[in-house]
Chain A
Amino acid sequence: MLFYHLGKYVLLMKAALKRPEKWSFYWKEIAREMVSIGVGSLGIISIISIFMGAVTSVQTAFQLISNLISSSVIGQITRDNSILELSPTIGALVLAGKTGSNIASQIGTMRVTEQIDALEVMGVNSPGYLIFPKIIAGVTMIPMLVIISITLSIVGGGVAGVLSGALSQADYITGVQAEFNNTILIAGMVKSVIYAFIITSVSAYQGFYTSGGALEVGESSTRAVVVSCILILCADYIVAQLLL
């Protein structure tokens, strides 16, 4: 069963990533998807990022009560956690819920209402038209969201740390600037691109092969989120093993 779905997924991606019939037409779709995935997710990503940073900062301060450790370490830990894990992975899990379910239900509805059949009868490569713009928009916009998320998470950590009295603003900034290793940023960005591909392609796959009616569209949407989340966590482990 796993290989059956894997084979179908690979064939769908092969069709989706074919050269578009007409680039100018696809650009409009890509721009539309960029707005939907990028701008549409900015609000929720901003909110969770601020709180992720704040919680990391406060909890790290709680666990590091020692005169031997400088409080600026809190800034350093918040920064590294935000770049390496919180913003890319937690952000991707949230986006799998928001964007993934949206993609699966959108394509699934098009399938059950014969809109995909209408595209195919016209001679349009339907996987290409429906999935390619979403993947391109995802792999460009989700890393950008992750960069914004990292920034807000670090800022949120600073604000919470200072407000709780765990450390001073100067100590936090010193920590954030200390011993920065480029590898964690590269790993964070690589993760975000991989997660973006997983979210968009897996959700599109689930939607594209929906059959039945409204109930099945809902099931596809749920399955898209569940499978995306599992694959994101698997990819998280693999990337961490390979890059760190």
Chain B
Amino acid sequence: MIEIKEIRKSFDDKEVLKGISATFMSGSCNMIIGGSGSGKTTLIKCMVGLHEVDSGEVLYDDRDFTKLNFEDRIPIRKEIGMLFQGSALFDSLTVQDNVMFALNMFTEMEHSEKLDRVNFCLNRVNLENVNKKFPAELSGGMKKRVGIARAIAMNPKYLYCDEPNSGLDPKTSIVIDNLIQEITDEFKITTIVNTHDMNSVMEIGDNVVFLHQGQKWWEGSNKDIKHTDNTELNDFVFASKHFKEMQK
């Protein structure tokens, strides 16, 4: 379980996060949605420690991440997997080395054990015969899947996905969404997905947090969204004519 309490973050004079609190349960897909500039990415970066919060707490199973220094954060970081918007695979390494990276760095496993783990993770994301390929040789969807494989290589308890469907076609997006949900259920991971994609929200959003102007504006399940009377959320979700007609 991840709990955030009163998270505040400013850049220069601009307050981007204005006291956000939420609880993300394990074994569920938690979606953070909101318009551009609403603070979604900043919130995720604060939660994983890429930005330091100005005030507030980020609790990983009651361990306050914000109070720890770099060294003390490492044990928690080993429990975190993250899929980045652009996949962020290491260009100079093969797919196999990318997935094996954290295993090489942090474990004393034999090479054969690590290779088994890599193959398990790649199979889990439905990728085969790509071990020796470099990221530049893969399609966008394949890169995302390798990104997921790398994120789950260390058996994480917490999985972050930043815009997992950006730049993907609708069919591949569904594959990635289903993969995220399956992995969340299978390994009982606390998954937090930052997305614009309303199809994803409707498909896999067990818990949805809507950010607006740096504040938590609404929280509920994907089913609740259809019936909400929250104006800002409705404007965001049903922005297109097509969705408005569907809502009617």
A residues adjacent to B (C-beta < 8 A)? 21-22, 25, 109-110, 113-115, 117-118, 120-125
B101 at the interface (CB under 8 A from A): yes
Q: Which residue of A22, A109, A113, A123 is within 8 Å of B78 (Cβ)?
A: A123
Q: CB distance B104 to A25 under 8 Å?
A: yes
A residues in contact with B85, CB < 8 Å = 114
CA distance A163 to B77 in the complex (A): 66
Q: CB distance B73 to A123 under 8 Å?
A: yes
Q: CB distance B105 to A124 under 8 Å?
A: yes
Contacting residues of chain B (39-57) with chain A, CB-CB under 8 angstroms:
45, 48-50
In whole Å, how far is A217's beta carbon from the nearest beta carbon of chain B? 13
Q: Which residue of A117, A123, A124, A125 is within 8 Å of B84 (Cβ)?
A: A117
A residues in contact with B45, CB < 8 Å = 117
Q: CB distance B50 to A120 under 8 Å?
A: yes
Q: CB distance A25 to B84 under 8 Å?
A: no
A residues in contact with B160, CB < 8 Å = 121
Given contacts A121-B48, A123-B74, A125-B70, contact A114 B105 (CB under 8 A): no
B198 at the interface (CB under 8 A from A): no
In whole Å, how far is A36's beta carbon from the nearest beta carbon of chain B? 10
In whole Å, how far is A117's beta carbon from the nearest beta carbon of chain B? 5
Which stretch, B9-17, B86-94, B117-125, touches the partner chain A? B86-94
A residues in contact with B74, CB < 8 Å = 123
Given contacts A114-B88, A115-B90, contact A121 B82 (CB under 8 A): yes
B243 at the interface (CB under 8 A from A): no
B residues in contact with A21, CB < 8 Å = 105-106
B80 at the interface (CB under 8 A from A): yes
Q: Name the residue among B82, B84, B86, B105 with the largest chain A CB count within 10 angstroms.
A: B105
**A-B pairs with beta carbons under 8 A, tally:** 53
Q: Which residue of A22, A25, A113, A125 is within 8 Å of B88 (Cβ)?
A: A113
CA distance A35 to B106 in the complex (A): 26
In whole Å, how far is A113's beta carbon from the nearest beta carbon of chain B? 6
CB-defined A-B contacts under 8 Å, sample of 25:
A21-B105, A21-B106, A22-B105, A110-B90, A110-B91, A113-B88, A114-B84, A114-B85, A114-B86, A115-B88, A115-B91, A117-B45, A117-B84, A117-B88, A120-B49, A120-B50, A121-B50, A121-B80, A122-B77, A122-B102, A123-B73, A123-B74, A123-B78, A124-B105, A125-B70
B residues adjacent to A (C-beta < 8 A)? 45, 48-50, 70, 73-74, 77-78, 80, 82, 84-86, 88-91, 101-102, 104-106, 154, 160
Q: Name the residue among A25, A113, A125 with the largest chain B CB count within 10 angstroms.
A: A113
CA distance A122 to B101 in the complex (A): 9
Q: CB distance B105 to A118 under 8 Å?
A: no
B residues in contact with A115, CB < 8 Å = 88-91
Report, nearest first, the 4 A-B pairs whose CB atoms are least far apart.
Answer: A123-B77, A114-B88, A118-B88, A123-B74
CA distance A118 to B83 in the complex (A): 8
A residues in contact with B154, CB < 8 Å = 122
In whole Å, how far is A209's beta carbon from the nearest beta carbon of chain B? 15
Q: CB distance B50 to A122 under 8 Å?
A: no
Closest to B77 in A: A123
Closest to A109 in B: B91
B residues in contact with A25, CB < 8 Å = 104-105
Q: CB distance A118 to B77 under 8 Å?
A: no
A residues in contact with B84, CB < 8 Å = 114, 117-118
Closest to A24 in B: B104
Q: Name the residue among A109, A113, A117, A122 with the largest chain B CB count within 10 angstroms.
A: A122
In whole Å, how far is A194's beta carbon from the nearest beta carbon of chain B? 28
B residues in contact with A124, CB < 8 Å = 102, 105
Closest to B153 in A: A122
Q: Which residue of B89, B91, B105 is within 8 Å of A122 (Cβ)?
A: B105
Closest to A112 in B: B86
CA distance A190 to B89 in the complex (A): 39
CA distance A226 to B85 in the complex (A): 33
B residues in contact with A117, CB < 8 Å = 45, 50, 84, 88
A residues in contact with B82, CB < 8 Å = 118, 121
CA distance A114 to B87 in the complex (A): 8
Closest to A121 in B: B82
A residues in contact with B101, CB < 8 Å = 122
